[in-house]
């Protein structure tokens, strides 16, 4: 398949596949900042660059509406992601973020926001090397402006602004295959509200199954089973950071979270991220942790329902409580919070609970990519310890 743009970029090229003679690491060296293009790339004449201040209520609403109406849909156009404003502010304002990396494109005449792309800084470890990277996300071009080749110039512009901060690597995901995935993950879905998922046409009644039999199959207890299972609080940040850093050290690619990162990414934030831990009733030691983020989707073309309330597995650590039991408690609290479905990728050790907790495999795949960084060979999903929003 021709990738006119990606064949010009420092990413693993399909033609080099299998060539393990090249060492793991950057594909191109950093350039002196004086050699980085100082002015923005040219857009087609009707359009102009804009920097989106997500702390501005008006701008945040414009970004929210652009994504709500034009962002990623599943292959059957049953759902479209509907990231909330609160979630977008959380996702784009981690410690050390750059407003200049929240890039919009406006139509000069109407001043309407017609496209968006973002970066946030992150420290990502690849094997034993911690690399400063940009996590690229929320690339969105208005439906009416597709195939105008806006995406390549937006990717070049965010890359330029990342280079200006002396960062030369990036991480991103896509539902499509580009040169060249470091790994390919599978989505899995655990019904919490099976009747709604059947009514919207996502799930189907199993053979010889009634609706009431199906609802019983997915029924969960009213409260978590693990003694000492409770919401995470600010005072838990140091202990959760230690627990998470130890746990993530087993994976080939994982974030290098410090306490500031844990406070931002994992402290409960209503309608954005929920996190729980197990504090041993006896020793008061924090032994386990689980978390999920809130990402609703618009349900397209359904008379009865307009929104799917979906929870997405985030970072989970089990050191004393079996991961199966910990994740069943996560399902229980997600159901208590009226989520319709609990989604998880087959990354980290998730495989060990997916089938047993009645997750079903999705038909979508998620490909993970690194920019300007070659890994010796592709990873298995179980070697990946990174969840991007
Ligand atoms: C019921 C299970 O499917 C989803 O939760 C869902 C919801 N919204 C989407 C919007 C765009 C979309 O585009 C790929 C997929 C979905 C999906 S399935 C893949 C995400 C997961 N898990």
**Residues present in the chain in total:** 389
d(CA 86, ligand 1 centre) in Å: 20
Q: Return the pLDDT at 18.
A: 73
- 91/99 Cα distance (integer angstroms): 12
- 186/346 Cα distance (integer angstroms): 6
CB 136 within 8 A of CB 169: no
Number of alpha carbons in the 13 Å side-chain half-sphere of residue 91: 25
Sheet containing 297-299: order of strands: 79-81, 297-299, 307-308
What angle is formed at CA 54 by the lines to CA 50 and CA 60, rounded to 5 degrees?
Answer: 90
At a CB cut-off of 8 Å and minimum separation 6, what does 36 contact?
A: 160, 163, 164
Q: What is the pLDDT of residues 314-340, one digit of tens each?
A: 999 999 999 999 999 999 999 999 999
Q: Return the pLDDT at 311.
A: 99
Name the residue at shortest CA distance from atom 6 of ligand 1. Answer: 79
Using a 6 Å cutoff on CB, does residue 73 contact ligand 1?
yes
Instruction: Tell me whether strands 297-299 and 79-81 are parallel, antiparallel or unpaired.
Output: antiparallel
Q: Which residues of the chain have pLDDT under 50?
A: none
d(CA 25, ligand 1 centre) in Å: 33
Using a 6 Å cutoff on CB, does residue 323 contact ligand 1?
no
Phi then psi for residue 234, to 5 deg, are -55, -40
Using a 6 Å cutoff on CB, does residue 238 contact ligand 1?
no
Using a 6 Å cutoff on CB, does residue 83 contact ligand 1?
no
d(CA 55, ligand 1 centre) in Å: 28
d(CA 7, ligand 1 centre) in Å: 29
Number of alpha carbons in the 13 Å side-chain half-sphere of residue 342: 27
Question: What positions carry a catalytic annotation?
Answer: 389
Q: What is the pLDDT of residues 40-92, one digit of tens each?
A: 999 999 999 999 999 999 999 999 999 999 999 999 999 999 999 999 999 99
For residue 279, the SS3 value is: strand
Q: Return the pLDDT at 19.
A: 76
Q: Return the pLDDT at 287.
A: 98
- 224/268 Cα distance (integer angstroms): 17
Q: Return the pLDDT at 16.
A: 80
Using a 6 Å cutoff on CB, does residue 79 contact ligand 1?
yes
Q: Return the pLDDT at 17.
A: 78
Name the residue at shortest CA distance from atom 3 of ligand 1. Answer: 189
Name the residue at shortest CA distance from atom 14 of ligand 1. Answer: 74
Using a 6 Å cutoff on CB, does residue 24 contact ligand 1?
no
Q: Return the pLDDT at 14.
A: 80
Q: Strands, E, within 60-108: which ranges?
A: 79-81, 102-107
Q: Return the pLDDT at 246.
A: 98
Closest CA to 348 of 371, 310, 379, 370: 379
What angle do the packed helices 259-266 and 237-248 form, to 10 degrees? 100
Q: Return the pLDDT at 133.
A: 98
d(CA 308, ligand 1 centre) in Å: 9
What angle is formed at CA 99 by the lines to CA 4 and CA 41, rounded to 5 degrees?
Answer: 35
Q: Return the pLDDT at 364.
A: 87
Ligand 1 atom nearest to 191, measured from its CA: 1
Kindly tell me the burial class for residue 337, based on how many C-beta atoms sit within 10 Å of its own C-beta (0-12, 13-18, 19 or more). middle
Query: Does ipTM surpass 0.95 in this model?
Result: yes
CB 256 within 8 A of CB 42: no
Kindly tell me the burial class for residue 198, based on how many C-beta atoms sit within 10 Å of its own C-beta (0-12, 13-18, 19 or more). middle
Cα dihedral 200→201→203→208 (10° resolution): 110
Ligand 1 atom nearest to 202, measured from its CA: 1
User: What is the token pair recorded at 82?
Assistant: 């509907």
Using a 6 Å cutoff on CB, does residue 297 contact ligand 1?
yes
User: What is the token pair recorded at 187?
Assistant: 């989505």
Percentage helix, strand, coil for the chain under 3-state DSSP, each rounded to 5: 30, 30, 45
Ligand 1 atom nearest to 175, measured from its CA: 14
d(CA 319, ligand 1 centre) in Å: 30
Using a 6 Å cutoff on CB, does residue 27 contact ligand 1?
no
Name the residue at shortest CA distance from atom 5 of ligand 1. Answer: 310
Q: Return the pLDDT at 15.
A: 79
Residues 238-254: b if buried by 16+ CB within 10 A, e if exposed: ebbbebbbebbeebbbb
Using a 6 Å cutoff on CB, does residue 360 contact ligand 1?
no
Measured between alpha carbons, how far is residue 240 from residues 143, 263, 265, 291 in Å?
42, 9, 12, 11
């Amino acid at each position: 398949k021709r990738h006119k743009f990606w064949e010009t970029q420092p990413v693993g090229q399909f033609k080099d596949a299998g060539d393990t003679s090249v060492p793991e690491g950057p594909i191109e060296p950093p350039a002196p900042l004086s050699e980085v293009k100082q002015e923005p790339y040219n857009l087609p004449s009707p359009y102009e660059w804009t920097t989106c201040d997500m702390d501005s209520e008006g701008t945040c609403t414009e970004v929210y509406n652009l994504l709500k109406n034009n962002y990623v849909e599943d292959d059957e156009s049953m759902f479209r992601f509907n990231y909330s404003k609160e979630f977008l502010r959380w996702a784009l304002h981690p410690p050390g973020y750059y407003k200049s990396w929240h890039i919009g494109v406006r139509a000069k005449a109407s001043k309407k926001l017609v496209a968006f792309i973002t970066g946030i800084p992150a420290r990502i470890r690849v094997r034993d090397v911690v690399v400063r990277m940009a996590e690229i996300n929320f690339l969105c071009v208005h439906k009416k402006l597709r195939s105008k080749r806006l995406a390549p110039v937006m990717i070049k512009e965010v890359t330029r602004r990342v280079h200006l901060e002396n960062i030369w690597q990036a991480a991103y995901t896509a539902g499509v295959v580009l040169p060249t995935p470091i790994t390919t993950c599978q989505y899995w879905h655990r019904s919490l509200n099976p009747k709604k998922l059947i009514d919207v046409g996502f799930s189907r009644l199993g053979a010889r199954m009634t609706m009431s039999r199906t609802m019983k199959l997915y029924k969960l207890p009213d409260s978590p089973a693990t003694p000492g299972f409770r919401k995470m609080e600010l005072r838990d940040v140091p202990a959760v950071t230690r627990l998470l850093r130890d746990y993530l050290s087993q994976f080939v690619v994982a974030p290098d979270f410090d306490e500031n990162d844990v406070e931002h990414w994992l402290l409960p934030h209503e309608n954005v991220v929920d996190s729980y831990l197990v504090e041993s009733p006896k020793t008061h030691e924090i032994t386990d942790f689980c978390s999920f983020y809130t990402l609703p989707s618009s349900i397209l073309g359904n008379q009865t329902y307009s929104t799917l309330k979906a929870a997405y597995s985030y970072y989970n650590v089990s050191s004393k409580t079996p991961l199966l039991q910990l994740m069943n408690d996560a399902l229980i609290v997600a159901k208590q919070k009226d989520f319709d479905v609990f989604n998880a990728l087959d990354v980290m050790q998730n495989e060990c609970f997916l089938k047993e907790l009645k997750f079903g495999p999705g038909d979508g795949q998620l490909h993970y990519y690194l920019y300007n960084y070659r890994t010796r060979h592709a990873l298995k999903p179980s070697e990946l310890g990174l969840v991007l929003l």
